[in-house]
Structure 1
Amino acid sequence: MDHEHTTLADDLERMLATQSDRRQSLRWLFAGAAALPLIGCGGGSSTTTASTTTGNGGTTSTGSTGTGTSTGTGTGSNGTCSVIPEETGGPYPGDGTNSNGSGIANALTLSGIVRSDIRTSVSPGSATAAGIPTTLKLQIVNVGNSCASAAGAAVYLWHCDRDGNYSMYATGLTKENYLRGVQEADSSGIVTFTTIFPGCYAGRMPHIHFEVYPSLAKATSAANRVKTSQFTFPMATLNEAYSTTAYASSSRNLSSISYATDNVFSDGTSLQIASVTGDPVNGYVVTLTIGVSL
């Protein structure tokens, strides 16, 4: 699928893809931004049985955020906490930091954007995204408090649709805002989103974007975000999902890209591959533990 690149964010993302040290580039690009050094817990290598793919986060590692490097340990639900990389929000964040061609694109201020089911747009949109039903369960833990559950933190999450298009930006979708939503973490630090499995567009491995905020009240301005990152899925899940007819274009795009050549995941995926259960018929459940410093 072809994507037009007309924004500054597109140019920055392409520049990141050519740097010999993407982490150093991110530190330079985001210097002065409101991104604090944070810790995250994620899945590692994956194993697959008939309809279950499981991540394994057993080792402690060090990574970089947009403003520096942090190291931390603690016990989260997936094992030992490790730094989750700070990643670009890409050209389609919809958080008020760029334009969609007709004005500032900001889903954070939309009435009704705080919701669990993100498949249908809120006003002024009305469209519903089609695709394999998918439940996302992200647990936010506070590394500064021995990875205790970060109850009350908030997550803004967005991803492309089955055809690789982003609401608020793609042609014909600038008034839509599906596959975008905000959730407040419950007493266990968990946010849950009902969505569809994202497609794969040319040049990127399939992924989901998210921003973490210290509270729901602060999740109305991108200036308050404390972490921006992305996560992806095991290859077994991608191959299974994209074998379905509705995801035929994703299958073709996936065949020409890999984690090793992706401009975000080429430096490692151990902290950014979620655990997945389910199948294309009954839907998927995707889980990941994300550490932050609050």
Structure 2
Amino acid sequence: MTQHHDDHGHSLAEDMPLMEAMIGRRRALRWFAGAGTAALVAGCGGNGSDASSASVAVVTGTTPTPTPTATTATPTPSATTGTCVKDASETNGPYPADGTNTSSGSTSNALTASGIVRSDIRSSFLGTSTTTATGVQLKLTLTVVDVNSSCAALAGYAVYIWCCDRNGLYSLYTAAAESYLRGIQVTDANGQVTFTLIFPGCYSGRWPHIHVEVFSSLATATSGRYASLVGQLAMPAAACSTVYADTATYPSSARNFAQISLSSDNVFGDNSTAQIAQQTPTLTGNIAAGYIGTATIGLAR
């Protein structure tokens, strides 16, 4: 296909003689002063690119800064900004306990069980077991935002998370007698929920991760079929290397982690760079004190 390019190379000096000949010097100057702004705007908009064709849209949210009045002597703080993308939809895996499959444990739908709404999810809460999952502590805060509304916080949303234990086993399934490392929280006015769990182990064939399902309300969080988002969080590589070096606590994770990469992972491998960045929690802390993590979850409402 032949591409057509508009010729925008003429300067004012080149065009002026023609303008003078057509409408006179004075009229040409008056016309250019009035239309110059419109011409500049038109010239800046025709590069032929379409931002909507990108596979992932990055949205920037801005909190407006109040304009100082004439009597205000204190400098106005800078506006705060943030970016978000729509989280990739991922598989909920074979161990969701959200009512979408069967399990070998006490229930296949932990979302309807009494006690599932909790912040500290390290202990089992179903049946007779009260076992607490051991490992490096992780306190994780998730912020749920609307990518179609300048990354505005979404309050009142139910967030269900679950992950494997330090041996790579999932409660209610491969650790059938346990129900630890599963829980729901409801987002506050800032769109945030906080969970206390452990740093998940790494099992063969998968990058270390935490599963996430987001529902529009606690009332709809009774079946995984009603989730607004089924996603996963990718654990940061540096923290994985540090945590898994303790082979007494995480006996097989270091070996499994050495055999996987984000690009080869069958879940994260086809995600965009922006999605991976958002799906990877930011962590501070250490093994002895535990880690504190934050991540954003972007929904397109």
Which stretch of the first structure deviates more once superposed, 252-261 or 76-85?
76-85
Match of 2:216 among 214, 217, 239: 214
Q: Return the offset for 1:84.
A: 1.4
Give 1:91's aligned amino acid. P
Please say if residues 119 and 196 of structure 2, whose CA atoms lie closer than 8 Å, have aligned partners that are also in contact. Answer: yes
**Structure 2 counterpart of 1:258:** 261
Q: What's 1:201 paired with? A: 203
C-alpha distance after superposition, 1:4-24 (max 9, x if no partner): xxxxxxxxxxxxxxxxxxxxx
Partner of 2:11: none
Output aligned runs, 1:115-264, within 5 Å.
Answer: 115-124=118-127, 125-170=129-174, 173-244=175-246, 245-264=248-267
1:94-105 equivalences under 5 Å are: 94-101=97-104, 105=108
Question: Among 281, 292, 296, which residue is 1:285 paired with?
Answer: 292
Q: Percent identity?
A: 48
How many residues in Structure 1 have an aligned counterpart in Structure 2? 227
1:151 alignment partner, SS class: coil
- State the partner residue of 1:83: 86
Unaligned runs of 5+ in 1: 1-59, 64-69
Give, as a single letter, the amino acid of the residue that structure 2 aligns with 1:182: I
Shift of the alpha carbon at 1:75?
1.7
> How do 1:27-42 and structure 2 match up within 5 A?
none
* Structure whose CA Rg is larger: 2
What SS does structure 2 have at the residue aligned with 1:271? helix
Find out whether 1:73 has 2:96 as its counterpart. Answer: no
Q: Distance in 2 between matches of 1:206 and 1:102?
A: 23
Instruction: Give the 3-state SS of the residue equivalent to 2:188 in structure 1.
Output: coil
Do the aligned partners of 1:88 and 1:229 also contact (CA within 8 Å) in 2? yes
Distance in structure 1 (CA, Å) of the matches to 2:181 and 2:224: 18
User: What's the offset of the Cα at 1:217?
Assistant: 1.4
Q: Give deviations 1:31-76, integer Å, cap 9, x for gaps.
A: xxxxxxxxxxxxxxxxxxxxxxxxxxxxx9955xxxxxx7462428
Corresponding residue SS for 1:231: strand
The TM-score normalised by the length of structure 2 is 0.71
Q: Which has the larger helix fraction? A: 2
Partner SS, residue 135 of structure 2: coil
Residue 286 of structure 2 aligns to which amino acid in structure 1?
Answer: D
For residues 197 and 72 of structure 1, what CA distance do their matches in structure 2 show? 29
Q: Aligned in 2, Cα 1:246/1:191: closer, same or farther, shift over 3 Å? A: same
- C-alpha distance 133-101 of structure 1, shift in aligned 2 (>3 A): closer
Would the alpha carbon gap of residues 102 and 156 (structure 1) be closer, same or farther in structure 2, given more than 3 Å must change? closer
Structure 2 stretches of 5 or more lacking a match? 1-51, 63-79
Give the distance between the partners of 2:104 and 2:164, measured in 1 at CA. Answer: 18
Distance 1:146 1:256, change over 3 A: same
Distance 1:62 1:138, change over 3 A: farther
Highest RCO, 1 vs 2 (Cα 8 Å, sep ≥ 6): 1
Residues 163-205 of structure 1: per-residue CA shift (max 9 Å, x gap)? 00000001xx323210000000011111100001000001111
Aligned position for 1:26: none
Q: Following TM superposition, by how much is the alpha carbon of 1:223 offset from its aligned partner in structure 2, in angstroms?
A: 2.2
AA partner of residue 82 (structure 1)? V
